[in-house]
Amino acid sequence: MSGLKIAVIGGGSSYTPELIDGFIKRATELPVDEIQLVDIPEGQHKLDIVAGLARRMVVEAGLSTVISATMDRRAALTGADFVVTQFRVGGLAARARDERFPLKYNVLGQETTGPGGFAKALRTIPVILDICRDISELCPDAWLINFTNPAGLITEAIYKYTKVKCLGLCNVPIHLRMTIAKMLDAKADDIFIDFAGLNHLVWGRKVYHKGVDVTAAVLEKMQDGAALTMKNIPDLKWDGDFLHSLGMVPCPYHRYYYMTDSLLAEEQAAAAKGGAGTRAEIVQAVEENLFKLYQNPDLNEKPAELEKRGGAYYSDAAVSLISAIYNDKREIHTVNTLNQGAISGLLANCVIETNCIIGKNGATPLTLGVLPPEIAGLIQQVKAYEILAVEAGVHGDRNKALQALANNPLVPSVGVAKQLLADLLSLNADYLPQFKDC
């Protein structure tokens, strides 16, 4: 049997060594002949550096996998078996703008939630749909694994406006499982979390260790200050009374909804003159150091410093999912896929993040039924925002864009929504061809 061809869109990303490391670790179950790393001309320098490190990594591992670097996306997609998307339209400079422009209206600036996440989605949707047109033509049987944020919203656009076989993926669920395993001094394989929600808005309804419900023990440790966060989110401690009353494990991104005032104050202080800078500005310095490391001809493995970038367990999540599809494993993964009735009260054709059985035909979500009111309301509101955001991003519809912001729980009023939208469209005009008439 011939080996697999993998196309990575956004191949010059600093995350790519994580992905290569994942393929190396699973070489015995995934026969990968070729990995094509694709980028745009502005990313040529980074792409060349990353490709060089990737080649050294596969040689060190004793593999014959060919690593190619190219600007020719169509050539890379031709005959691909799997496509991984991990790109950022506008780069970190655009992310920095996303994080800053809402602050003057006393609104959180963040790359995947709130107005900043909306701006990123609007920039990304035209590009991902263009990629999907190429996939439909050049590798119609390929699976698209979308890591591009906001992952759930972008995956929903793909499902609604293309025929591409797609699963959205995020490292938050696997990060939670790994962190909780450490918290309990247990093996990660012995931990199972009953996930329910949306991308970056997912709750662990129950946590099991070897089949035993240990949710209460996890919440108790969190109340005592045990860290359950990620590199790119401030480690504000959870209120013990709130966790006790919730009775479920929130994901790190819930801080933006449950601790909005504290995070806003922290963001404004960081963005002010003399502050540490926004997360994007901090990441720019982290990436500069990473690419200096990547250029070292003696480096032939994923450096430990990469974890500071915020992509921990990326390779485990992505490559194990690809293996589950390719090998028809029918094992459980947490992915972004169509609801199909798994969560009662949400549209069947909207995208949720939940546990699914994964095999050669994709994802079958486990039935969740009616969600408790403690979380159902916030999910409904954010999903309404996402549905409107997809329509705005696909059609360049300013009315849908205004309604999306007005429905976003992090936007305080219609007046502020109108100001945010005007700023967003102006700041991102070069990346929003669908809004050219606005």
- The answer to whether residues 355 and 365 touch, using CB atoms and an 8 Å cutoff, is yes
CA dihedral defined by 199, 203, 205, 211, rounded to 10 degrees?
70
Report the alpha-carbon distance of residue 305 to residue 421 in Å, rounded: 37
Encoding tokens for residue 321? 């999912």
Q: Could you give the CA distance from residue 173 to residue 275 in angstroms, rounded to a whole number?
A: 31
Q: Which of 333, 324, 341 is nearest to 143 (CA)?
A: 324
β-strands 362-365, 351-359: how paired?
A: antiparallel
Q: Which of 15, 253, 313, 431 is catalytic?
A: 253
The answer to whether the CB of 322 falls within 8 A of the CB of 334 is no
Contacts of 367 (CB under 8 A, 6+ apart): 341, 342
Looking at the chain, the number of H-run helices and the number of E-run strands are: 16, 13
Contact criterion met (CB below 8 Å) for 304 and 231: no
Max CA distance (Å), the chain: 60
Whether residue 253 lies in the annotated active site = yes
User: How far apart are the C-alpha atoms of 231 and 309, rounded to whole Å?
Assistant: 7
Distance CA 321, CA 6 (A): 14
| CA 58 – CA 14 distance, rounded (Å) | 17
Residue 126: cis peptide before it, omega within 30 degrees of 0: no
Say which residues have a Cβ less than 8 Å from residue 199's Cβ, sequence separation at least 6: 112, 150, 151, 152, 153, 155, 168, 170, 172, 336, 351, 353
Strands (E), 100-182: 143-146, 165-168
- The span from the CA of 376 to the CA of 382, in Å, is 10
CA dihedral sign of residues 75, 76, 79, 85? negative
Give 364's contacts (C-beta < 8 A, 6+ positions apart): 356, 357
| Residues 6 or more apart whose Cβ sits within 8 Å of residue 227 | 179, 235
Cβ contact 280:270 at 8 Å? no
Task: List active site positions.
Answer: 253
